[in-house]
Amino acid sequence: MLSTFFINICVMITFMYISGIIAKYYNIRVPFPSLRVQMIGGFLFGIYGTVLMNYSFPLNEDTIVDLRHLAIVTAAVYLGGLASVISGLVISILRIAIFGLSSPAIDAGFVMTLIGLSGVYFAYASWSRLTKIITMNLLGITLIFVILFLNSSSMNSLMKVYPLQMTISFVGGIFIYFIAEFINKSNEMLFLLERRASTDHLTNLSNRRQFEKSLELQLERARENRQKLSLLVIDIDRFKKVNDTYGHSAGDAVLKQLGQLLIEHSRSADMVSRNGGEEFAILLLDCGNHQALAIAESIRQSVEKYLFALPDGTTIRLTISIGVAVFPDHCDEQDDADFFEQADRALYEAKNTGRNRVCAIPKRSKVLIGNRLL
């Protein structure tokens, strides 16, 4: 009997590990996960609880004892009320489907459903996770005792099993808490590392590495779908003067505010990045030359009018220069690097012709030589 309950704990820990791996692909780093995540998680934990029934201890020919309720408790505390309800229903339905329809099966299904429903309250209670697990676990153990008592013909046989179940269930719940917290923290650290690898620490925009990956991906999509792709390369005019006059903290403040301005004046699907120093870039998806120039000019005017607030309370005005290139109009269709080089070339033209302006290089003419378009 002790070995059976021990297997229950080992199976549950294995499931927690598997769930931790799956959780890397879903947004669970929010107080209340999405309904989709809760539905998927609730179904999975329902399956977990059902598997635990295969490692149960028979109290009599119709009644089995195990730790399946811990699957519902875990779903409630770490995913939410919907996940708790779904896991309880899945366990209840599969209990009857696998072991047959009987009075104990119906009673057990009712209790699992009731524990699942109670999870709606525990999921959103303003308690610590450990308190939620302990309290909900104790509630589950109590309800299970009631149903076992109703379906047991001998109080002596019940008391031979229940104290051990209660003890292992309580210890198992605490053990699962520490395992789940470890997995959560590990996933959070992985998420932060991945984010730092692709995000500029100062502006929270994409960094140069992420920009290059996005550029490669979007160029490939533009080729496949025969769409236009525009690139704005942006540089702050005379930014060194800001650092020399007001200090690097002022320069950092300017970069943060400019990053926010670029996001606000770009479309939601566009990709904004800081590529280093005072240079930024924006990938405009499915965007032709006229629209790209209009967006670039709108950004330039917005920056020119904006008052940048410095840490000491001073406000200053700045201007930017923008180079525009459009794929495939301005570059070699098969050369990814050429696309950025042409936008960079346009930026230098804007710098060399007076700054505070938008420039685009002339559209490349294409002639047919033989069967090849050049």
Residue 280: CA atoms inside 13 Å, Cβ hemisphere, count? 31
Comparing C-alpha atoms, which of 265, 303, 297, 271 is closest to residue 284? 271
Specify whether 264 is catalytic: no
Q: Could you tell me the end-to-end alpha-carbon distance of the chain, in angstroms, rounded to an integer?
A: 79
Q: Which positions ≥6 away from 246 have C-beta within 8 Å?
A: 310, 312, 314, 316
CA 369 to CA 302: how far, in whole Å? 45
Comparing C-alpha atoms, which of 348, 364, 354 is closest to residue 233? 348
- The encoded tokens of residue 286 equal 């499915």
Catalytic residue among 61, 216, 278, 333: 278
Residue 119 near residue 85, CB atoms below 8 Å: yes
CB atoms within 10 A of CB 119: 31
CA 133 to CA 74: how far, in whole Å? 7
Q: What DSSP state is assigned to residue 363? A: P
Question: Catalytic residues, which ones?
Answer: 278
